Structure 1
Amino acid sequence: MFGVTTSDDYQPVTWVGRHPVHVTTLLVAVHIFLMVVVCFLSALGATGFLGALIFDSAQVLSLGRVWQIATYAFVHLPYSATALLWFAVEMYMLFAFGRELERYFGRRAFIIFYLLLLLVPTVLLTVVGLWTRVGIAGSATLHLGIFLAFAAIYPHVEMLLRIQMKWIALIFVAIGTLAALANHNWADLIALWATVITAVSFVCFRGAGPELEWWSNFKSRLQPKPKFQIVSRETPRRSPEPENIHESIDPVLEKISKHGINSLTASERRALDRARNSLLKKPQ
């Protein structure tokens, strides 16, 4: 769809006929199936069972219901038709952007990323629960993290009304933050910003490509400037200009004619050899 980078680990989990089934497709199917199950359980009045799956810091710390740290995201409470409509939008975000992240990161890295988005907020809320009781249900914040990670990798991709992804992500985070502050919903606020930090950090530490240019520029500004040392430049030696071979060798030849070749010194012999080699190299 949008991605330009494909990991070597982008392999399907299984195949249905000729159609590959990736991790993102399985996640969408699981969430939709469980949403239908929760709707029927709610109709049957099984609120006690659902309450045991929703994250509640008091139940986790006092009753040892540690599974709530993970199961909360799969309990989609059908408060109204609007809630179900937003659930459909959420599933679209998971399928469209999650598929691109899975292609970009690879299957194993994408699973790790999804688990981090799932667990980091509730682990942090469990710590907060030591001071005050907090709770959370549903996967809206989790799948917002999928969208934020995509926006961090491809910030300049244009969506509706030609608005770039980075601005849409900023608007979503701003709306979520303001809504949580206005309603004093500290659990949602903590979960939101834990998701933001987790998503952006994972993209950065996985090493995004050239699409995340703003992060590379930011890191370069934080790095200390290298200290330069002045190194003296060696002056190249000038090669001696070739001298006239006949003029340099004439005294040697005269000495040979008078006293014989055995009278030459070692330096004169070397000069004679150089002159002979130079004459041999000259074109005839």
Structure 2
Amino acid sequence: MLDDRSYMQSPYHPQTKFSAVVILIVICAGVFLLQIFTQPSSSFLVNSVWGQYFYLSQIGVSRGFLWQLITFQFIHGSFLHLLFNCWALYLFGRSIEESQGKAGFFRVYFLSGVAGGLLHVIIAWGLNGNSVPMLMVGASAGVYGLIAVFARLWPDTPLTMFPIPITIKVKHLFFILLAIAGLGLILSRGSGVSHAGHFGGAIAGLLYVYFAIEGKKMSFAMSSRPSLSKVRQVHPASKVGSVLKRVSRSSKNSSSLTEEEFITRKVDPILEKISAHGIHSLTESERKILESARSRLKGRL
């Protein structure tokens, strides 16, 4: 009876099933290999093609090289720098891509990266003006934005750190990283780490959750239930809203429906929602309807 429903069909499409996270990692790795063969030693880096045109600096932006706000996010200073950022991209990016879609993932990553880059440029202008360039490279600003979004949507997810096997909830890890970036932004000078980029990326990630995903006042109580995505939708938002309203209004009369009517009118819209957004997007009333359906089917068996 349920086999013909769209949510029971496999969503896998081999010709379009390319992970945005994997694509981004491959690009970063490819750029790093290009750096190895073409980039000069660090002592000549500032005046090289890489340093002048592709690394992010306040001098480059002042000259109109605005593409640096994008290109720096693919460049890394060392293999360990690349390895850590790619690990973080894979760890936090997969769930965000699954929840928000490829476009949503790229929006979070690049908007956070650009925001972190802009804050870095502003701080660099304030410290050095246009006299000495302060270079910034790496995916870290975008990664901090991804961590911010992940911490808001799935705050209680446990994460085991390495090399010391310490398990910590993602929301606690995010607050620690945000505090370190904030303190580094205030206290640290010339450390070789762009705390401004990290801090700006994290704040941009939080703002993305606020405006693009939740669309409501943000609460740092951070419940374990992720918010409903407004980015990846099977139906237009207006249709989804009308379906959910109908389900909510008619839940009280579900006992008077036949089994087929109950599944078609009550259960199908909820399962469609789970297929599109995940089970965590369900409201309490929708969960009760599913529990009622489970009881009915169990009684029939």
Show structure 1 runs of 5+ residues with no match.
1-9, 79-83, 217-284
Match of 1:207 among 213, 224, 229: 213
Does residue 114 (structure 1) correspond to residue 106 (structure 2)? The answer is no
Does residue 22 (structure 1) correspond to residue 28 (structure 2)? The answer is no
Change (3 A) 1:33 1:168: same
Match of 2:80 among 76, 82, 85: 85
Does residue 170 (structure 1) correspond to residue 175 (structure 2)? The answer is yes
Retained in 2: the 8 A contact 1:12–1:23? no
Per the TM alignment, residue 86 of structure 1 is displaced from its structure 2 partner at its CA by: 3.9
- The aligned residue for residue 254 of structure 2 is none
Cα distance between partner residues in 1 of 2:14 and 2:107: 15
- The aligned residue for residue 156 of structure 2 is 156
- The aligned residue for residue 58 of structure 1 is 59
Cα distance between partner residues in 2 of 1:159 and 1:126: 32
Match of 2:90 among 71, 95, 101: 95
Aligned length: 195
Change (3 A) 1:126 1:73: same
Q: Give the TM-score taking structure 1 as reference length.
A: 0.59
Does residue 68 (structure 1) correspond to residue 68 (structure 2)? The answer is yes
Q: Which residue identity lines up with residue 60 of structure 2 in the other structure?
A: Q
Q: How does 1:1-284 map to 2 (within 5 A)?
A: 14=15, 20-42=17-39, 47=45, 48-52=48-52, 53-61=54-62, 63-78=63-78, 84-127=79-122, 131=126, 132-133=128-129, 134-160=134-160, 161-185=166-190, 188-208=194-214, 214=221
Cα distance between partner residues in 2 of 1:92 and 1:205: 27
Q: Which residue identity lines up with residue 118 of structure 1 in the other structure?
A: G
Retained in 2: the 8 A contact 1:14–1:22? no
Change (3 A) 1:97 1:14: farther
- The aligned residue for residue 276 of structure 2 is none
Q: Which residue identity lines up with residue 109 of structure 2 in the other structure?
A: Y
Per the TM alignment, residue 183 of structure 1 is displaced from its structure 2 partner at its CA by: 2.7
Show structure 2 runs of 5+ residues with no match.
1-10, 161-165, 224-301
Cα distance between partner residues in 2 of 1:64 and 1:70: 13
Retained in 1: the 8 A contact 2:82–2:138? no
Change (3 A) 1:194 1:176: closer
Cα distance between partner residues in 2 of 1:164 and 1:125: 29
Cα distance between partner residues in 2 of 1:71 and 1:103: 25
Cα distance between partner residues in 1 of 2:13 and 2:178: 32
Per the TM alignment, residue 127 of structure 1 is displaced from its structure 2 partner at its CA by: 4.7
Retained in 2: the 8 A contact 1:204–1:215? no
Change (3 A) 1:193 1:176: closer
Cα distance between partner residues in 1 of 2:204 and 2:18: 26
Deviations 1:205-257 (A, max 9, x none): 23359xx78368xxxxxxxxxxxxxxxxxxxxxxxxxxxxxxxxxxxxxxxxx
Per the TM alignment, residue 151 of structure 1 is displaced from its structure 2 partner at its CA by: 1.4
Retained in 1: the 8 A contact 2:152–2:222? no
Per the TM alignment, residue 71 of structure 1 is displaced from its structure 2 partner at its CA by: 1.0
Per the TM alignment, residue 11 of structure 1 is displaced from its structure 2 partner at its CA by: 8.1
Question: Which protein has the larger Cα radius of gyration, Structure 1 or Structure 2?
Answer: 1
Cα distance between partner residues in 2 of 1:12 and 1:113: 24
Per the TM alignment, residue 204 of structure 1 is displaced from its structure 2 partner at its CA by: 2.5
Retained in 2: the 8 A contact 1:28–1:91? yes
Cα distance between partner residues in 2 of 1:181 and 1:12: 48
Change (3 A) 1:166 1:41: same
Task: Look up the SS of the partner of 1:136 in the other structure.
Answer: coil
Cα distance between partner residues in 1 of 2:103 and 2:60: 32
Q: Which residue identity lines up with residue 211 of structure 2 in the other structure?
A: F
